[in-house]
A = this chain, B = another copy of it.
Amino acid sequence: MIHRLCVIGVGLIGGSLALALKKYEACRRVTGCGRSIQNLDKAVELGVIDDYHTDPAVAVQGCDVVLLAVPMGSMQAVMQAIKSCLSEDAVITDAGSTKGVIIEVAREVFGELPAGLIPGHPVAGNENSGVVAATADLYQGRRVILTPHENSHKDALHKVVQMWQAVGAEVKQMDAELHDHILAATSHLPHMLAFSLVRELANSPHHDNIFRYAAGGLRDFTRIAESDPVMWRDICLSNRDAILAAMDRYRDELDRLQQAIRESDATALYDMFVEAHDARAHFRRLLDARERDCGH
C-alpha cells in the first residue's frame, strides 16, 4: 500500500497510474504536480489526484513514492528541484521512454545514485495525451520494464514492482542499456520510419492525390506519426546512439531490397518477402498468445 504518491506530470501516463491505484485501492492519497493550474484543477475534478502543488519541492514532501512522468527533457530540472525535499525513505521512479539517460542524470544531480531510485518504463500509452485521456485500465496486461542500478535497494524495487502489478501490469527487469537497445529497435525506429514516410508523402508534388487515394493499410502504418513531437524530440536526444545504430542497420536492409528491385531479381525479392511474412506471422502469434493470457 502506498501512503502518499506524488505524480509529477499529470498527463495520460501519470494520470492513468493514479486512477488505477485508486481503483484497486493500492494508494491512499495522490498529490499532483505540474505547471498548468488548469490541468491540475481538471485532474482534481476527474478524481485523478486529491490535491496538488505547482512547486515539485513542495509536492514531494511527505510522499513515500514519487513518479516522474514529465518529458525526458525535463527530468534533470525536476530531480534538481526535489533533491533536498524528498522524505528519507522515498522511492523515486519514472515513466521515461529511455533509461540510460535517467541514470546518467540522476548521478549528476544526486552525486551518487539514490538507493530509492528505480527507473521504469511502462510500455503503454497511445497517440492521445493529457489527463483527460487517462484511464484506469491503461496498464492492464501491459509490460513495465524496470531498470534497477547497482545502488537500488531491494525494498524500493519491491515497492515499485508491487505498484505496477497492482494496476495489472506485467513487470520485467533488465539492464538500462539493453532496455534502450530493445526500445530503439521496437519503438523508436518504427516511429522514425513513420515520421519520415508521412513527411515524404506530404512533401510530394502529388500530395493531394496521395492522401486521397491512400488505402486503409497506410492509416495503420502511419498512426504512430501522430505521436507527441516534444516526447519524440526528447527520445531522440536521450537515446541517440541506439537509435542511430538501429537506423543504420535498417538502411542496410533497405539497401538490399532496393538493390533486388533495381536488378529485377525475382528470386531475391520473393525470398525476402517470405522471410518478412514468416517473421511477422511469428510475431503475430506471440502477441495473440500474450493477449489471450491477459484477457485483452
Contacts and interface: CB of A to CB of B under 8 A. Distances in A.
A261 B239 CA distance: 9
Contacts of A182: 206, 209-210, 213
Interface stretch (A7-15, A28-36, A244-252): A244-252
Contacts of A190: 197, 217-218, 221-222
A113 interface: no
B196 A253 contact: yes
Given A229-B270, A270-B230, A193 B195 contact: no
Interface string A213-230: 111011111111111111
Interface in A3-21: none
Contacts of A257: 192, 195-196
A204 to B, nearest CB: 6
Contacts of A236: 260-261, 269
Nearest to A275: B199
Contact of A280 (B226, B266, B274): B226
Interface in A141-185: 142-143, 145, 172, 178, 181-183, 185
Interface string A273-296: 111110111111011000000000
B225 A244 contact: no
A280 B221 contact: no
A85 interface: no
Given A181-B206, A209-B178, A277-B229, A215 B197 contact: no
A296 B145 CA distance: 38
Contact of A221 (B220, B246, B282): B220
A282 to B, nearest CB: 7
A204 B218 contact: no
The residue among A183, A209, A254 with the most chain B CB atoms within 10 A of its own CB is A254
A283 B233 contact: no
A259 to B, nearest CB: 10
Given A204-B185, A251-B254, A220 B224 contact: yes
7 nearest interchain CB pairs?
A: A229-B273, A202-B279, A195-B276, A225-B280, A186-B214, A220-B220, A226-B280
